[in-house]
Structure 1
Amino acid sequence: MTVIAITGAAGWLGGILADALVADGRTPDLSFILADIVEPKEVKGHKSVCMKADLTDASEIERIYTTDAGIPDVIYCLHGIMSRGSEDNFDLGLKVNIDSIRLMLQAARRHSEGRTPIKFIFTSSLAVYGGPLPEVVTPSTIATPEGAYGMGKLTSELLVNEFTRRGFVDGRIIRLPTITVRPGVPSAATSAFISGIIREPLKGIEAVCPVGSSIDSPELELAAWLASPEVTIKNFVQVMHVPAEKFLKHTRVVCLPGFTATVREELQALEKVAGPDALKLVTFRDDPTNRRIVSSWPARFDNSYPLSLGFSVDEGGMVPIVERFKKAVDAGLA
C-alpha cells in the first residue's frame, strides 16, 4: 500500500490530483490523506482520510502523519497563499508560504527516521524569477523574485533542497507555468486574468483584462509562460515517478515545460474559437501593480531538462486549449 498525502486538497489542483494518480495506474494500491483549511472530498473506491486542518499549526500538521492510514510515503505540498494575496497580506504570506512548509518538512523529517525518506513534492512557481533575465531561462538561471509570493516560494525551495541534501526527505520541487484555462471562480493569483479573459467570455460573462487600456494597447504584447490544466496534472503525477538519481546533483528544482503566448495571442485565440462576440466581453482596466508583477516573470524557458525526466508539454499553442475549454463549457463540465 502506498500512502499519499495531499495538502491543499480542497483546492482545484488538489481536488483532481488524487483521481489522476489513481487513473495513472503505475501505483495500483493507493490510499490518501487529504488535508486543507476546508475538509476535502474523499477519493471514491480508495481509503481516504479527509481532514480540515490549519497547516500553519504544528499540531495540526502532525495529524497528517498519525492517521490510521499510516505514515505517508509521498506528500504533495500544494497549499499556499496565491501571488496577489501574498502581496496584499505580507504577514499571512510569510506564515503560510514559508513557516508552514518548514513545519511540514520538520514533521516529514521526524517521521522518515528509520525508513525510506518521504517523497516531499513541493509546488513552486515561475514567480521566483525577476530582474534582468536571459532571453531563455535555463536550470542555471538565478532566481531573484520581485514579489512576496516568489520570495516565499524561493525560500521554501531552499528548505526543501537542504532537507534533501541531508537525507531527511526525498524532495522534488516543480516550478509551475501559469495554468490556463483554469476552471471555476477567479483565484487571488496575480495571473488569474490569464485564465479569466478566456473562461468568462466562453461562459457569456464579462471579463476584465488588467493589462492595457484597449484591444490596441501595446501592453497586450506582455508574454507569459503557460501550460494547460491537462498537461499540468499529468506532470504532477510524473514527478512522483522520476528516479532520484535523475535529478541534477545540486538542486531538486524542475521548471515544468510550457509554451509562450502573449495576452494578444490569447485574445486572438478566443476570437478564433468563439467569435467576435466573445471578444467583446473583454474590457480593459489597466492595473500597474498587476502588470508590474506579471511582467517581472520570465516567458521563455528551455524545456530540455524537464522533457528528459519524462515530463510533457502542450503542443499547438493557445487555440487547442481554448477549444478544449469551450467544449467543456458547452457540455456543462466547466
Structure 2
Amino acid sequence: MNPEIAKLGHVSLVTPNLDKSLWFFHDVIGLEITERSSDTVYLRANGEFEHHSLILKAGDRAYMDHIGWRVKRPEDVELFEHLLKKSGTEVQKLPKGQETGQGDAIRFQMPTGHNLELYYDVEKPLAPEGERSVLKNQTHKSWNRGISPRRIDHVNVWTSHDPGGAHNWLTEQLGFKMREYIRLDNGQVISGWMSVTPLVHDIAVMAEPNAPTPARLHHVAYWLDNAQDVLRACDILREHGITPDQGPGKHGISQALFTYVRDPGSGHRVELFSNGYLIFDPDWEPVEWTEEELALGLTLWGPTDYIPHRDNHAMDQTTEA
C-alpha cells in the first residue's frame, strides 16, 4: 500500500516581533494557545483537536520555517522516507518531541526550497477548564475570542522557479491531485491548486518571477463557517486598528469568500476563507483557466490586485533543511 497524506497539519512562521504577532493571532484572529516557551508559541483554532495548527517562533526576520502534513497511518512516515530517498530527495529525521506535541517526523524540501514535514503521532490536549466547549465534537468555546476561525484550511506558496516542476513533484512524490490551474498563452502553467482531501486546495503553488528568493509564502488560510463570518471578521479587524490587506471578495477559482490581512508583527499574510466547494468525484478533471481568464479566476468580484507577477510582498521562506 502506498503511503498517503491525510491533511494539512500546521504552518510554522518566524516573526521578528513575537509579542505583536501573538497578539494578532491570539487576540484578533482568535487562535487558542496550547503551549508556549520564551521564544515559541503553539496555537490552534477552536474546532481543532490536534496540538497546534500554527507555530510562532521568534527570529530576526519574517519567514516560513516549514509546512507540516499529517499522514494517514503511522507507518506512512517511514514509507515516505524510503520513497523520497529513493527518488533522490534528502530527508532529515526528527525524533518525537523535537517539535512540541508531535511524534517522529521527517523533513525535506520541495524543488522550490520550501520545507515540508510529515508526521502521524500528535498530542490532542483538552482545552483548559472554563474554555472548553460544551460540544463534545469541538475543543474550545465558540466565539471565545476575536474572529474565532474553526480550522486551518490551506497554504499558498510562491516561487521564482517554474511552478510546474513543483506541481509534478507534489503529484509524483506525495500524491497531491491538481484541482484547478492557470495556463498562460505560451503554454506555461503558472499556478496550481492541489489537494489530498476533498478541498479544492490544501496547497497552492504559484509563480512570482520577481521574487527575490525561490521559496516564498503568500498566505496561510483559516476557515470561517460562512460569508457573514468573513464580513464580521473585517469589522473585528478594524475594531483592533487593522485594515485588511485585500477584500472582502470572491475567488473564481475555489468560489470562496475571502479577506486577506497581514500580521503587524511580521508582515505574514493570513487569508480568512469561507464557502467554496468540495470535490468528491474520483474522476475529477482539473479545471483550466486561461491567461485571458486569469483576473476572473483569481477574483470574481472585489479588489483585483491579487495577480501573479504583480505582487512583490510575499514573505521570505528559509531554505534550511
TM-score (norm 1): 0.31
Query: Over alpha carbons, which structure has the higher Rg?
Result: 1
Higher helix share: 1
TM-score relative to the length of structure 2: 0.32
Greater relative contact order (CA < 8 Å, ≥ 6 in sequence): 2
More strand, by proportion: 2
